[in-house]
Amino acid sequence: MPEPILDVEPILEVAGLRKRFGGLAVTDDVSFAVAPGGIHAIIGPNGAGKTTLIHQLSGSLRPDAGRIRFAGRDVTSLPPQRRARLGLARSFQITSVIPGFPVLENVALAVQGRSGGSFRFFRAAAGEARLNAVALAALDQVGLAGRAAALAGALSHGEKRQLELAMALAMQPKLLLLDEPLAGAGPEETTRLVALLSALKRHHTILLVEHDMQAVFALADRISVLVYGRIIATDAPDAIRADAAVRAAYLGEDAPEGEWPEGEWGA
């Protein structure tokens, strides 16, 4: 008997997470859970603490308090590389690739990380057909296979975004943390990346931090709203649109111009 979806054990569970920078509570008693499958989005105005939250989830920042459970175990005190090996893959808000490596080798390194046994000293890694085949498949998935031989540093911004996604996919992760994957992408690139994300969500669980509201409402299955370090609502997209507190937070005087497209409200 398949279990009803709501009773499924969450892949990620955050409880009472807190982080202060000096006097500023950037993560303020944050709790939420991500169910396996689909896209859970985190939205919030600039400076709300979204990136800081992602850093704590990925392990590059230590929370002051609270617990993080991932794939059935407490990972609160594990470093990033251990969380990655448990199946947590991330992309960075500021694109982060190995610029001096060819595109294919960036992804092959990701495959190598999961295939174990990198203490190998003799065989040329660039010639390992097994690593390259998986890497090429991941590049194909994000539509970057044609650029496999280019240097990663020479890619356009949007292509680097695609490469980051390919690296994350090549890790065959249980959860993808994506920090503003659309930031800095032009309209055409945005369309392509949104199509890509909506294809990926059929087979992957994604925690998506994104500024582009149109994209978020088109993609997300659930949305958490983060304001001044606190989660003020977690719900389905339609319910979030209708939420009075969310509207107040976004339409208050602190809200940046045009961040919450008016046209979206009635849609």
Ligand X SMILES: Nc1ncnc2c1ncn2[C@@H]1O[C@H](COP(=O)(O)OP(=O)(O)O)[C@@H](O)[C@H]1O
Which parts of this chain interact with Mg ion (CB under 5 A)? Answer: 50-51, 93
User: 135 touches which of ligand X, Mg ion, other proteins, none (CB within 5 to 8 A by kind)?
Assistant: none
Residues lying near ligand X in the complex (CB under 6 A) are found at 21, 26, 44, 46-52
Token pair in block for residue 231: 């989660």
4, 22, 120, 253: which one binds other proteins (CB under 8 A)? 120
112-127 per-residue burial string, b: 16 or more CB within 10 A, e: under 16: bbeeeeeeeeeeeeee
Return the number of the residue (145 or 255) whose C-beta is nearest Mg ion. 255
Q: Which two tokens stand for residue 21?
A: 């920078």
Strand partners, 38: 205
Binding partner of residue 35 among ligand X, Mg ion, other proteins, none, CB under 5 to 8 Å per kind? none
The residues, any chain, with a CB within 8 Å of residue 202's CB and separated by 6 or more, are none
**What is d(CA 249, CA 105) in angstroms, rounded to the nearest whole number?**
44
Residue closer to ligand X by CB (options 64, 238) is: 64
Among 10, 66, 80, 143, binds other proteins (CB under 8 A): 80
d(CA 25, CA 236): 27
Residue 212 interacts, among ligand X, Mg ion, other proteins, none and using kind-specific CB cut-offs from 5 to 8 Å, with none
207-236: contacts with other proteins (CB under 8 A): none
Partner touching 98 among Mg ion, other proteins, ligand X, none, CB below 5 to 8 Å by kind: other proteins
Nearer to Mg ion (CB atom), residue 105 or residue 180: 180
Bridge partner residues of 20 (DSSP) = 25
Q: Which is nearer to ligand X, 72 or 256 (CB)?
A: 256
Contact 55, 84 (CB under 8 A): no
Closest to 172 measured CA to CA, from 130, 114, 125:
114
> Is 125 a binder of other proteins (CB under 8 A)?
yes
The nearest distance, CB 181 to ligand X, in angstroms, is: 13
List, edge to edge, every strand of the sheet that includes 24-34: 24-34, 12-21, 65-70, 73-74
Alpha helices, DSSP H only, in the chain?
50-58, 80-85, 103-115, 129-141, 157-170, 187-200, 213-219, 237-242, 244-251, 263-266
Of the residues 3, 7, 22, 121, which one makes contact with other proteins according to CB under 8 A:
121
Cα gap 233→247, rounded to integer Å: 11
Smallest gap from Cβ 80 to other proteins, in A, equals 5
267 binds, among Mg ion, other proteins, ligand X, none (CB under 5 to 8 A by kind): none
List residues near other proteins by CB under 8 A.
Answer: 58, 60, 79-82, 84-85, 89-90, 92, 96-101, 105, 109-110, 112-114, 117-126, 128, 167, 171
